Amino acid sequence: MKIEIKNLSKKYTEKIALNDLTLELEENKIYGLLGRNGAGKTTLMQLLAGYMLPTSGSIKVNGQSPFDNRDVLKDICLINESNNFMNRLKVKDILKIASLFYPNWSNEKAERLLETFNLKGKMSVKGLSKGMESALGIIIGLASRTKIAIFDEPYIGLDASARYKFYDALLEEYEEYPRTIILSTHLIDEVSNLFEEVILIKNGELLFHRTTEELLELTLKVSGSKHAVNSFIEGKEVIHEAELAGQKAATLFGERYDKREAISLGLTIESVTIQHLMVYLTEETQGGKLHA
């Protein structure tokens, strides 16, 4: 299902959470939706999952607005950081309710994932730890087999081992049943190898939407003597610099840089992680708008 977002804005009383965002997402890809706290990620995901209407602009899934549209929403599953499952129910009841909502629901998958995350159907939701509740959300997100699965920081309380089980399960599901997956997280280093494309939002605006491959090609860190680094970076877009005792490191973003030139100047070159790139580009001092 294609997602088309045009000039989308969302204002909450005084706060502009999203500002004139235009974006297209093709089907069957894994997207990383990144940005600092308060950037507007949750707002975007909630608009996509039909929780509310935009203030202006449009969001279309296969040409239709998701808001109050069962026809579209049966194909979209949004898992939040706080799922707010009904306390008086048991895990199996929650799964039963979810299975009634999503036409492609897989009971078999849900059962297998219960085992993976050490949950039992008879457990009462009231007695689940925060991490177990997150695991239940993840089980629903994967077993629903919706064409669009959105995970908004889905793993509050999950320990590292359970998080890696989630990444493995996500990839296994994606390979078996390709779908559009949108994953928003602050643990970027843990998952960035899953992203096929990255969408970065800053203060409600789109900073860029690029393939992971492009991002890595367009970023370069050079280090060496201050003089050599300065001569290489002159006229280029520098997103981070650090100096110590006559040595300097600079991170560049925006072009396919000539690495041979850097090496010929005696510089050391390194690649930059997506997490670092996100941090550098969203620093408040980094005011520049990049080519989305």
Ligand X SMILES: Nc1ncnc2c1ncn2[C@@H]1O[C@H](COP(=O)(O)OP(=O)(O)OP(=O)(O)O)[C@@H](O)[C@H]1O
Q: How far is the CB of 203 from ligand X (least distance, A)?
A: 9
Q: How far is the CB of 195 from ligand X (least distance, A)?
A: 17
Q: How far is the CB of 200 from ligand X (least distance, A)?
A: 11
Q: How far apart are CA 79 and CA 138, in angstroms?
A: 7
Which H helix or E strand runs over 61?
Answer: strand 56-61
Q: How far is the CB of 11 from ligand X (least distance, A)?
A: 9
Q: Does 15 bind ligand X (CB under 6 A)?
A: yes
Nearer to ligand X, 37 or 161 (CB): 37
Q: How far is the CB of 273 from ligand X (least distance, A)?
A: 19
Q: Does 164 bind ligand X (CB under 6 A)?
A: no
237: closest CA among 197, 207, 266, 195? 207
158: closest CA among 122, 117, 191? 117
Nearer to ligand X, 3 or 218 (CB): 3
Secondary-structure breakdown of the chain: helix, strand, coil percentages, each rounded to the nearest 5 = 35, 30, 35
Instruction: State the DSSP string of 123-189.
Output: SBGGG--HHHHHHHHHHHHHHT--SEEEEESTTTT--HHHHHHHHHHHHHHHHHS--EEEEE-S-HH
Q: Degrees (nearest 5) of the Cα angle 210, 168, 217?
A: 25
Say how far residue 278 (Cα) sits from the centre of its chain.
Answer: 12
Q: How far is the CB of 34 from ligand X (least distance, A)?
A: 9
Nearer to ligand X, 43 or 134 (CB): 43
Site for ligand X in 22-81 (CB under 6 A): 35, 37-43
Size of the site for ligand X (CB under 6 A): 11
Q: Does 137 bind ligand X (CB under 6 A)?
A: no
**Contact between 210 and 198 (Cβ < 8 Å):** yes
x/- contact string, 78-117, with ligand X (CB under 6 A)? ----------------------------------------
Applying CB under 6 A, which residues contact ligand X?
12, 15, 17, 35, 37-43
